[in-house]
Structure 1
């Protein structure tokens, strides 16, 4: 009997209130870790037993196990049933508080679960014949029953998703919700999120402290976990959330007046300090004030997310802030996930695939994905998600396991940019264009004079060459069959593993792109590629609510950063600096010398100087970088430019002064 599944207590038996009785049951239940034993009610107040990691429970609250979602929830303790806790406690100590267990109802077996009357003895031959008939009936009936149950599960899952969608609709319609995070909301709605012991612990921390900081490498699921933590209150119908608000900076948090009971997510809040460290001192003081003002007085819950290497650079600055006490700091590490948790991540992400696999082949696919290695710029959950939404990467799973995800992703970009089909090359140009604009793009960007010329230059570089270079040997290998899956969706013995159910796009416009302003006909072709090109759809997510001028956002920031790194390596610094937007140059780039230590003396030697994912600009290109920034802004950028981390770089600062002086003389003359 599985101890990690909730089992109702026998009829007429409740969970014990005495320590000795509790110890007897715990010994008899025999959990792998005795501290995991729980006897508590489920959502129907039926007492049951389960082995699961305990969570923190705040005072005057009772733990309840939600069997449908395999997770804990907390409900108010009612004194009319007995004593309640006057302090925070662990969920495995619930037997000490009768107010949490007295109201449970004994499990009553329904008529459908009553044992069948004993079968009367039969002669030996008659028994054999009956057994054969039963076996034959089972052989006929079992596949039918499995098929019916499968259809029923799919129908129920769809009904559940539709119900949750309507429940979450007020959140999705909030105008303040960033377009880049709508994919996260869709994933929460569709059940892609996978619960884990980390998530169960985060629930208790957030309920007790009113704030929690989720720290982890890129793509580890920080933002998805943060949204799930907030949405559980809204979806649970507990009336605990009045609104979900998402910010990216401390300034946004401290300059607004959140409603009572709101859940606030401050996503990637340390990013601004990487390039403007001078803002740290002022924001630190405001954060300390916000703890008393929001959490203590207004019952507002705040969830912070931060990249792990950036937190290591700044954690000593917030060691005394009440928002970041040790108990409220949680690090997501998928290396520490159990195999069952990794399988859950894979299984849930497979639901977003456009094509479906047979059960046997899907099991083999899932087992192969368990061999994926953690990478610096891509955590396991993100690698799984990108593979599941990108059919070509899914077909090369064996190569990814062998050579690494980052290596194969760069080969994917390389083969795409050199594709013989001009529409495929133009779709790659659209992806590069979106990355240069900061991670999102809409049709109006192709029509504007300034950004339109950038797209033309990109097309000239990639898509309008007279002769198309052949892919490298590695790129060709990327398109060939590997030991698990090949590019035609077949195993090595020609048995299909992924059905090719995605239609190829109609060739909308095979003419080369001229260096003139983008025409209306060409814009329509761009729209067709954005809507129907399979590679683009796998990289760019279409945001809802912008039907007149559709907005497309990168599936994940790490994917955009990897593309920017690929561009600067394959096309060199000049092409990158001349075409990337000023925002990308200021916020997604880093000068190759370790300038982090120049603005903070306390950074230890074991912390990397340049954060994971940023594009490294070599010092030889600093003149080009300074001239590009000056040419776009005429020196008038923003008041904080003098405090930008680039200006802490001695060589860049001297270069910037020379560029300003040179251009000032030319303007005067």
Structure 2
């Protein structure tokens, strides 16, 4: 029976199915730490439970408990519908092939597919099942047609990050607390404010909400606004041209006090005059915390989502999805398992978001220890960019040129439409001898490392944080060039006397301080 509270790795044979329907209550009654509760089979094919720390199980396998060795292990999945992703050993929403229940003919039979169970309910008459089959085929064709149309409308980041396999969507959605909470605010109050440090997925969550609304509202009219000038132009119109507005990072860390107050006044006025319109606002945690009293006065704290405060279940879900996307092998999965307590810690890193860190680590060579990267991930990422710039290897410097080009060219590299003067300036500064005709070859080789390919010959940087770090790196080399070629340079360059001390300590890798008196003395433009 599932009753004696314990935390020892003793396998308790139950002689009955695993308690999938009341897993949480049984786990609390059985283990001191409910997260350690497992119900699975041992090497003798017996169903039982044990309290032990979970491990990561490789895709295509099922967890088992080795009674002799007193440890968790996994074996090849012998059934259909095997898990197509790495997962935790006590994941209760795993595929049916790895769920253990008692069968009719055997005391330790792995649960059969639901399609087999349904066969007992076939009606006597032949006509009814034939009609049902036809309806299922039609419904399936319609579903996939609509799904294809929807996927074609997804923005590139959302399309890339749509990582969850069809059969694991339910388990992932159950832990997407932030999404469900944001969706609730948007449905009930027409407003949601999403905050977080860089790399927490603020824009991605906004895109997910947009995608959800597009399912419900045909031909949804939406508008993305990322600057004060855009907002002023839209605010001046007598009628609203969209049902949904996304004010994406209209507030930013280096925003001077006067500009912040002007922006907030305009945003508040826009909100008051658009009560029937849905509005999503994203902003950095630094700005939210600094001006929390003003935001609360405007009532925005009532619709606030803080992505820095994701719970462990949501973080584990994100980790599983990213590991699945990057096809993590067993060695890397073991590395993540060992570093899990560090990764889920609340005080480990405060200047970069959990999803960005996990995605970055997933791409590192397996011989790199995760905890070496986690001491200060933002600094390590900045050092990685500098190593590309200073490398003696030609290939590494050419990677740096491509990252710089995309950063300074509105985030896109289109092989069929290259800004030749910009590219040649960057080549002259950082990788002399790099030929434009080799651009696509090198960019394609960077897919999965730094880039994603939106469509054939069109690339963008996969993590927004790389854009900030690359800009700062180029600006340190040639400040005048960086200011003249990058339209958002004020978001990353600030005069020394204007820079807040706390910001200087928190984000030194993501902006550059300058002295206005000798601002361009050391800068030069390429010939």
TM-score by length of 2: 0.62
Match of residue 422, structure 1, among 394, 402, 409: 394
* Contact map agreement 1:541 1:552 (CA 8 A) in 2: yes
State how far apart, in whole Å, the 2-side matches of 1:289 and 1:575 are.
40
With over 3 angstroms needed to count, the CA separation of the structure-2 counterparts of 1:523 and 1:611, relative to structure 1, is same
Alignment of 1:162-311 (within 5 A): 165-169=147-151, 171-172=153-154, 182-188=156-162, 195-235=175-215, 238-239=216-217, 242-249=220-227, 251-253=229-231, 255-256=233-234, 258=240, 262-271=243-252, 274-275=254-255, 278-280=258-260, 283-296=263-276, 300-311=277-288
* Contact map agreement 2:192 2:303 (CA 8 A) in 1: yes
Count of aligned residue pairs for this structure pair: 399
State how far apart, in whole Å, the 1-side matches of 2:522 and 2:283 are.
30
Match of residue 383, structure 1, among 357, 370, 375: 357
1:331 matches 2:242: no
With over 3 angstroms needed to count, the CA separation of the structure-2 counterparts of 1:398 and 1:621, relative to structure 1, is farther
3-state SS of paired residue (2:195): strand
* Contact map agreement 1:442 1:551 (CA 8 A) in 2: yes
**Pairwise CA distance, 1:267:** 1.1
State how far apart, in whole Å, the 2-side matches of 1:622 and 1:189 are.
48
1:530 matches 2:504: no
* Contact map agreement 1:168 1:189 (CA 8 A) in 2: no
State how far apart, in whole Å, the 2-side matches of 1:204 and 1:31 are.
30
**Pairwise CA distance, 1:418:** 5.2
Task: Name the counterpart of 2:518.
Answer: 622
With over 3 angstroms needed to count, the CA separation of the structure-2 counterparts of 1:609 and 1:377, relative to structure 1, is closer
State how far apart, in whole Å, the 2-side matches of 1:183 and 1:542 are.
11
**Pairwise CA distance, 1:234:** 3.5
State how far apart, in whole Å, the 2-side matches of 1:148 and 1:610 are.
47
Match of residue 333, structure 2, among 362, 383, 406: 362
State how far apart, in whole Å, the 1-side matches of 2:448 and 2:461 are.
10
TM-score by length of 1: 0.50
* Contact map agreement 2:494 2:512 (CA 8 A) in 1: yes
Match of residue 149, structure 1, among 53, 76, 82: 82
* Contact map agreement 1:268 1:305 (CA 8 A) in 2: yes
With over 3 angstroms needed to count, the CA separation of the structure-2 counterparts of 1:567 and 1:589, relative to structure 1, is same
- After superposition, what is the alpha-carbon deviation per residue over 1:631-662, rounded to whole angstroms, capped at 9, x for unaligned? 99xxxxxxxxxxxxxxxxxxxxxxxxxxxxxx
Gaps of 5+ in 1: 9-27, 33-141, 173-180, 465-511, 514-521, 598-604, 633-669
* Contact map agreement 2:492 2:511 (CA 8 A) in 1: yes
State how far apart, in whole Å, the 1-side matches of 2:484 and 2:378 are.
25
* Contact map agreement 2:250 2:282 (CA 8 A) in 1: yes
* Contact map agreement 2:479 2:523 (CA 8 A) in 1: no
Moved more, 224-233 or 207-216: 224-233
**Pairwise CA distance, 1:182:** 2.1
**Pairwise CA distance, 1:197:** 3.3
With over 3 angstroms needed to count, the CA separation of the structure-2 counterparts of 1:595 and 1:412, relative to structure 1, is closer
**Pairwise CA distance, 1:304:** 0.7
- After superposition, what is the alpha-carbon deviation per residue over 1:387-431, rounded to whole angstroms, capped at 9, x for unaligned? 22x344x54243534643234334433554455542333222222
With over 3 angstroms needed to count, the CA separation of the structure-2 counterparts of 1:147 and 1:439, relative to structure 1, is same
3-state SS of paired residue (1:265): strand
1:321 matches 2:260: no
* Contact map agreement 1:454 1:579 (CA 8 A) in 2: no
State how far apart, in whole Å, the 2-side matches of 1:183 and 1:226 are.
11
1:541 matches 2:452: yes
With over 3 angstroms needed to count, the CA separation of the structure-2 counterparts of 1:146 and 1:405, relative to structure 1, is farther
State how far apart, in whole Å, the 1-side matches of 2:372 and 2:197 are.
20
State how far apart, in whole Å, the 2-side matches of 1:582 and 1:170 are.
32
Task: Name the counterpart of 1:139.
Answer: none
* Contact map agreement 2:192 2:280 (CA 8 A) in 1: yes
**Pairwise CA distance, 1:245:** 3.5
Moved more, 306-315 or 618-627: 618-627
Task: Name the counterpart of 2:406.
Answer: 434
CA RMSD of aligned residues (A): 4.5
State how far apart, in whole Å, the 2-side matches of 1:592 and 1:160 are.
58
State how far apart, in whole Å, the 1-side matches of 2:521 and 2:418 are.
24
Task: Name the counterpart of 2:323.
Answer: 350
**Pairwise CA distance, 1:170:** 6.0
* Contact map agreement 1:184 1:223 (CA 8 A) in 2: no
1:595 matches 2:504: no
Alignment of 1:503-652 (within 5 A): 512-513=433-434, 522-531=435-444, 533-534=445-446, 537-544=448-455, 547=456, 550-567=457-474, 573-578=476-481, 581-583=484-486, 586-591=489-494, 593-595=496-498, 614-619=510-515, 622-624=518-520
